[in-house]
A = this chain, B = another copy of it.
Amino acid sequence: MRPTIKDLAKAAGVSLATVDRVLNERPNVSARAVRKVQDAIKRIGFERNLAAVNLARNRVYRFLFVLPKHGDQYLSELLAEIDSARAPLKSELVEVEVVRLDVENPHAVANLLSSLQTDEVNGVALMAPESPQTRDAVLRLNERDISVVHFLSGQANLEHHDFVGIDNIAAGATAGRLIGRFNAGRSGAIAIITETIHAQDSLKRRLGFDRVIHQIFPTISCLPTLETHGDPARAERIIKQTFANHEDIVAAYIMSPEARVPLEALSHCADLKNLIVVAHERTPFNEEALRDERLDAIIAQNPGHAVRSALRILRARRDRRQPFAAQEKIRIEILLADNL
C-alpha cells in the first residue's frame, strides 16, 4: 500500500499533528521534528495524495485566457482548442474562461488585469504585446498570488515569467532553411510578406530567416518586408509592384498567420506551382493550400499543445510545483503535404 500521513507519522516517531505542521509549513515546529519527518519521507517514500489534498482544500482552479478581440483563423483554432479542453478539465476542477479585448491597447489590458480578484481567478494566460503598463499590471497580479503565463506573445527570455510559445527566431530560420533547400542553389530573390512588421513575432522571424539565408544560401537574397495591413487591395498593389521590379523572385515567405490575402495576390503575379511559398500556422486555409501545392511548407505551432501547456503551467504554479519543463516547450512543426 501507498504510505499515508499516518504511516509517515509512525515512521517519523511523531504525531499526525506534527507531520501536518511540517508538510504544510506551519509555525512552531522544532528543527529536530522537521528533520525527523523529512528523513521518514525519504525512507518510506511518502508522496502526498494530490486527490486528497485537493479534496481537503476544496480547491478549484480558475484560469483566464486573455486573447485578442479580432484575429485570424489561427485565433479561431485557439478558441476551439480551449473549448475542447474544457470538458475533460472540468472533472479535474479546472475552470477556464476566455476574455477577448483590444490587446493593442495597453490600458485596456492593464485595466482588465487590475480588475481580477484573487478569489475569482488563480491564473492568467496573456496573449498581448508587451508594454510598460501590462508589465506593471502583471507584477501586481503576482503580488496578489495570481500567476501569469505569456501566451504565444511577449518575450520568451524574461526570467521571472512563464512563457508558452515557439522561438520565433528559430521559426524564421527554419523557414529560411526550407526555402534555401527547396531552391537548391539557384539564384534569385525572396519576397517577404507580413501583415505588419510592428509585431514582435514578425521581427524575430525575419531576423532568423535573414540570418540563415545570408549565411547558408548566398545565391538568394531577401527583399524588404512587404506589409499588407490585412488589406487585399494594398497587398495586390505592393506585391505586383515587387514582382515588376524583381523578375528573379523564386520564393515567398509569409510571416503572418493570415496567408489568404498574400497568397491570393501572389497567385496573380506568378505560377504558385513554381514559386516556393512557406507560410505560418496550420489553419484550414493553409492546410488546403498545402494540399493543392499553392504552399510548399507550413511552419506551425500546435495550438492545442499551446493551450494545454499554458494550463499545465498555471496549474503547477497554483500548486506551488515546478512546471514539468520538458513537456512545455512548444515545438516548431514543419508541415508538408504528407504529414498533415
Q: How many Å from the CB of A113 to the closest CB on chain B? A: 25
Closest 10 CB pairs of A and B: A184-B184, A51-B51, A173-B338, A334-B334, A332-B339, A174-B338, A174-B339, A50-B91, A51-B54, A47-B90
With beta carbons under 8 angstroms apart, the residue of B49, B170, B212, B321 that contacts A55 is: B49
Q: CA A176 – CA B93 in complex, angstroms?
A: 46
Near B by CB (< 8 A), chain A positions 290-340 give 296, 302, 304, 308, 321, 324, 326-327, 331-334, 336-339
Is A88's beta carbon under 8 Å from chain B? yes
- Contacts of A55 on B, CB cut-off 8 Å? 49, 51-52, 55
0/1 per residue, A170-192, Cβ < 8 Å to B?
11011011100111111000000
Is A104's beta carbon under 8 Å from chain B? no
Asked if A170 and B48 make an inter-chain contact with CB atoms under 8 angstroms apart, the answer reads no
Asked if A170 and B91 make an inter-chain contact with CB atoms under 8 angstroms apart, the answer reads no
Q: CA A292 – CA B336 in complex, angstroms?
A: 24
Near B by CB (< 8 A), chain A positions 67-117 give 84, 88, 90-93
Is A42's beta carbon under 8 Å from chain B? no
- Contacts of A198 on B, CB cut-off 8 Å? none
Q: Give the one of A49, A173, A304 with max B CB within 10 A.
A: A49
Asked if A91 and B47 make an inter-chain contact with CB atoms under 8 angstroms apart, the answer reads yes
Q: How many Å from the CB of A211 to the closest CB on chain B? A: 9
Q: Closest residue of chain B to A209, judged by CB?
A: B338
Asked if A49 and B91 make an inter-chain contact with CB atoms under 8 angstroms apart, the answer reads yes
- Contacts of A182 on B, CB cut-off 8 Å? 181-182, 184
Number of interface residues of A (CB under 8 A): 47
8 A-B pairs in the complex with CB atoms less than 8 angstroms apart: A2-B60, A50-B93, A51-B92, A55-B55, A174-B336, A308-B327, A331-B331, A333-B334
Q: Closest residue of chain B to A172, judged by CB?
A: B338
Q: CA A156 – CA B308 in complex, angstroms?
A: 25
With beta carbons under 8 angstroms apart, the residue of B84, B173, B339 that contacts A326 is: B84
Q: How many Å from the CB of A55 to the closest CB on chain B? A: 5
Q: How many Å from the CB of A207 to the closest CB on chain B? A: 12
Q: Closest residue of chain B to A208, judged by CB?
A: B338
Asked if A177 and B333 make an inter-chain contact with CB atoms under 8 angstroms apart, the answer reads no
- Contacts of A338 on B, CB cut-off 8 Å? 170, 173-174, 176-177, 208, 212, 332
Known interface pairs A182-B182, A336-B334; A92-B326 also in contact (CB < 8 Å) = no
Known interface pairs A170-B339, A339-B170; A331-B333 also in contact (CB < 8 Å) = yes
Q: Closest residue of chain B to A337, judged by CB?
A: B177
Q: CA A50 – CA B93 in complex, angstroms?
A: 8
Q: CA A49 – CA B331 in complex, angstroms?
A: 33
Q: How many Å from the CB of A288 to the closest CB on chain B? A: 17
- Contacts of A47 on B, CB cut-off 8 Å? 90-91
8 more contacts with CB within 8 A, not counting A48-B91, A184-B185, are A47-B90, A47-B91, A181-B296, A182-B182, A182-B184, A304-B327, A308-B327, A331-B331
